[in-house]
Structure 1
């Protein structure tokens, strides 16, 4: 195999939300860029994660709302779903976004190579494609190879009885009795999707609450809503083993030392991720790896000159938007600019279950543990006119402030459309606003965003509508 061009200013390995954005930003800054991807442009997020799951969840949301027609003075009969059609739409959305990235690469004159990359010495990358192997050179290289689903011994996926997120996105059947192992964002989103479509759904979480990274009050509120929807939630429970037989799985649960069993027809495992560090030649290059993730500094530098790592492979938070901003930061750094490092504490997390959950910054407990004297405010959806008018009166907005400085330490939400609203607090943290700034901001009426104002007022005993 031979290529007209083998030398670039920047080579990006991986075309997920970190890699492809890094490539585009670098090209915008005048660098020659090559991006190598072994599977799909857009990576897991676009093809097998963020985007197609949201398409599935949108179908489930509409299905749920159709059943509520009578509440809104409407009539709808013979409400059914077609799982194959739902999946087909989801895959079509992912394919459309994939084509969009191809167009962006062409527009920005980025060389895209479909193949497997390995570091082959300082400033060198060996690329294996169907045509053979070639060696490319670049002064700077970004590793953006992402992560994959973690599999626990005895809980390995088989695509039939036991699924990963990939199998759950293209199901071989509609589960009747479903077990979801893990209640982080991925697990609870799939639990929400299949439960809404009628699966008898059980969620098992080894920690003491569902959505364990969220504020305790938000987790507790969400759990009540999930249970109202018919989910069974088992907390402080682990799955010790799965006995597989034709058409069924017997799960062995352990709770407080007591072992019980239940039979399911489908199991989805969502117990975290593992960084894709294998086969890249990272160790030979001198890169330090800690628990499958590359160790970097705040600018994503690996300690090896000219070699950077961004996104999931570079550690938490494992979020697409964090990867994208790291990609922009590194591209600007390589181009000789002086970007600000990413602040993980100002990156929002969003979970698209029903109800939605969103948060940024410290939880109430984390703020206390960090030694802050705090003021906490909360406001319920039921006190907001727009939420009630929309029939979405179940929810909560919570704020955590430093009592001494007025700094917004954290914000936490559960309810309809909170994944859109959270960005207001993210901007507030980025601009280092205080409680006074937020109190003096005029929020439009009637909007659900007014609850964000009220939650700030509540922290200082000034809430108007509770």
Structure 2
């Protein structure tokens, strides 16, 4: 017999957008049901994305550090040749994920959010049927928040399965592949490809564009390209992947020549798409914007009291965007006057070295003569030298209006610069001018001094260059 349930707010998807919306709804006293039919509480980011990938990247960097100490040593440190038991590394990573899963569950329970595990299918805009382990449940809600997230894009000639894997499987391998071919030179493929190179795999990158990370300007990506070249990663740019069989991936090079690459695993990372299939979106009557659900600045869809957050709503497909949207929607439902209208949503590539971008970059202001651009190298920062973060061409760059010196964008490339991202976003969100950043006494010695010095340089009086 089908159980029936009525609620004020129904949230579909337990990723960073959905569970944050649920917690905030609960805090605001709204009767809320959260349906988790995907990867588990925390969604893609916590279970098979952001968090586990950063854990594997961290472990890979540790392994590389010990490897450098073998033989002649580094910084006066010597060590024996290291070994890696990837199954134990993955088990450690899984423990982190479980801990965070339990944390999210506890927060939802504290907020009095009812969590139902099962797959939801909508019959109309406000009613869905959830198939659970204990039988079906029909849920009717006054408000529906769609937070179904996204999924890896599968190439028709390289379907996932066996030795052709997505980022999900790449985070749970039981051994380091001898030869790994990564199809796609975006941030996901490069993060994982670099991690496996550090762990000892022979890695090749196949990218259809003429350079890696094509959405970023060349100055930002050059240090990453240098790392890849210096560490023997085989690069095939302007190339197209073909089929895979008998341990070989066929590709067509930039010059149109056929080539076969040996591969124990082929990691396909050619993008992600919103998860719009299989849960009855077509029965809800909401308008679409291409592959995404169309929303306004309140995250409202074309159907009254149906909202959408996260990857389902379009680029940038970033976890922190979904979380912010989830909070906004919860507060709107509770009667608050809110809008989702950020000045910037900073993005980070956890490559080697890391890349941060917030606001406008050089590609966005090309041809304009009303913008000041200034770059300060990490090589001139004491902290960077002291932690071996000054040798890869890293820098911080600011863009500002010539007229009033208002910051328009900030970018950085270098080791550990991900930790500067919130400072960049904060300054842009607050409408800071160059003089604001220049007037802040930055702690010494820190990498953030490069932000200070770049702003000073834009004003014409950098101190340390």
Preserved contact between residue 223 and residue 233 of structure 1 (Cα < 8 Å)? no
Following superposition, the deviation at residue 102 of structure 1 comes to 1.0
Question: 80, 84, 97: which one pairs with 1:81?
Answer: 84
The yes-or-no answer on 1:71 pairing with 2:71 is no
Following superposition, the deviation at residue 16 of structure 1 comes to 0.4
- Taking the aligned partners of 1:234 and 1:455, their CA distance within structure 2 comes to 35
The answer to which of 435-444 and 219-228 deviates more is 219-228
The yes-or-no answer on 1:150 pairing with 2:153 is yes
Following superposition, the deviation at residue 17 of structure 1 comes to 0.4
Q: State the SS of the aligned residue for 2:160.
A: coil
Q: What does 1:340-351 align with in structure 2 at a 5 Å threshold?
A: 340-343=339-342, 346-351=344-349
The answer to which of 325-334 and 398-407 deviates more is 398-407
The yes-or-no answer on 1:360 pairing with 2:361 is no
- Taking the aligned partners of 1:84 and 1:452, their CA distance within structure 2 comes to 40
Following superposition, the deviation at residue 436 of structure 1 comes to 1.2
- Taking the aligned partners of 1:251 and 1:326, their CA distance within structure 2 comes to 42
Q: State the SS of the aligned residue for 2:419.
A: helix
Following superposition, the deviation at residue 267 of structure 1 comes to 0.9
- With over 3 angstroms needed to count, the CA separation of the structure-2 counterparts of 1:462 and 1:235, relative to structure 1, is farther
Alignment partner, residue 287 of structure 1: 286
What TM-score, normalized by structure 2, do the two folds share?
0.95
Q: State the SS of the aligned residue for 1:187.
A: helix
**Structure 1: 5+ residue stretches without partners:** none
- With over 3 angstroms needed to count, the CA separation of the structure-2 counterparts of 1:234 and 1:461, relative to structure 1, is farther
Q: How many residue pairs were aligned?
A: 459
**Structure 2: 5+ residue stretches without partners:** none
Following superposition, the deviation at residue 144 of structure 1 comes to 0.3
Q: What does 1:393-412 align with in structure 2 at a 5 Å threshold?
A: 393=390, 394=392, 395-412=394-411
The one-character-per-residue Cα deviations of 1:118-165 (angstroms, maximum 9, x if unpaired) are 22234322222122222212211000001110011211121x321101
Preserved contact between residue 251 and residue 263 of structure 1 (Cα < 8 Å)? no
Following superposition, the deviation at residue 187 of structure 1 comes to 0.6
- Taking the aligned partners of 2:254 and 2:373, their CA distance within structure 1 comes to 33
Q: State the SS of the aligned residue for 1:80.
A: coil
Preserved contact between residue 207 and residue 236 of structure 1 (Cα < 8 Å)? yes
The yes-or-no answer on 1:181 pairing with 2:186 is no
Preserved contact between residue 326 and residue 342 of structure 1 (Cα < 8 Å)? no
Following superposition, the deviation at residue 263 of structure 1 comes to 2.3
- Taking the aligned partners of 2:44 and 2:125, their CA distance within structure 1 comes to 28
- Taking the aligned partners of 2:249 and 2:13, their CA distance within structure 1 comes to 38
- Taking the aligned partners of 2:196 and 2:89, their CA distance within structure 1 comes to 12
Alignment partner, residue 242 of structure 1: 243
Preserved contact between residue 310 and residue 322 of structure 2 (Cα < 8 Å)? yes
The one-character-per-residue Cα deviations of 1:214-235 (angstroms, maximum 9, x if unpaired) are 2221012221122112212222
- Taking the aligned partners of 1:243 and 1:140, their CA distance within structure 2 comes to 46
- Taking the aligned partners of 2:233 and 2:460, their CA distance within structure 1 comes to 36
- Taking the aligned partners of 2:369 and 2:92, their CA distance within structure 1 comes to 48
- Taking the aligned partners of 1:351 and 1:243, their CA distance within structure 2 comes to 28
Following superposition, the deviation at residue 172 of structure 1 comes to 4.5
What TM-score, normalized by structure 1, do the two folds share?
0.95
Q: What does 1:77-226 align with in structure 2 at a 5 Å threshold?
A: 77-158=80-161, 160-226=162-228
Q: What does 1:48-63 align with in structure 2 at a 5 Å threshold?
A: 48-63=48-63
Following superposition, the deviation at residue 113 of structure 1 comes to 0.1
Preserved contact between residue 368 and residue 374 of structure 1 (Cα < 8 Å)? no
- Taking the aligned partners of 2:292 and 2:254, their CA distance within structure 1 comes to 31
Following superposition, the deviation at residue 372 of structure 1 comes to 6.0
The yes-or-no answer on 1:18 pairing with 2:20 is no
Question: 373, 377, 382: which one pairs with 1:380?
Answer: 377
Alignment partner, residue 233 of structure 1: 235
Following superposition, the deviation at residue 363 of structure 1 comes to 1.4
The one-character-per-residue Cα deviations of 1:35-57 (angstroms, maximum 9, x if unpaired) are 00113111111010011111111
The yes-or-no answer on 1:463 pairing with 2:465 is no
Alignment partner, residue 387 of structure 2: 390
The answer to which of 107-116 and 197-206 deviates more is 197-206
- Taking the aligned partners of 2:186 and 2:126, their CA distance within structure 1 comes to 38
- Taking the aligned partners of 1:433 and 1:439, their CA distance within structure 2 comes to 10
Q: State the SS of the aligned residue for 1:18.
A: helix
Preserved contact between residue 15 and residue 149 of structure 2 (Cα < 8 Å)? yes
- Taking the aligned partners of 1:106 and 1:124, their CA distance within structure 2 comes to 24
Following superposition, the deviation at residue 261 of structure 1 comes to 2.9
Taking only aligned residues, the RMSD between alpha carbons, in angstroms, comes to: 1.7
The one-character-per-residue Cα deviations of 1:420-449 (angstroms, maximum 9, x if unpaired) are 112111000110001111111110111111
Q: State the SS of the aligned residue for 2:74.
A: helix
Q: What does 1:230-309 align with in structure 2 at a 5 Å threshold?
A: 230-239=232-241, 241-245=242-246, 248-309=247-308
- With over 3 angstroms needed to count, the CA separation of the structure-2 counterparts of 1:32 and 1:372, relative to structure 1, is farther
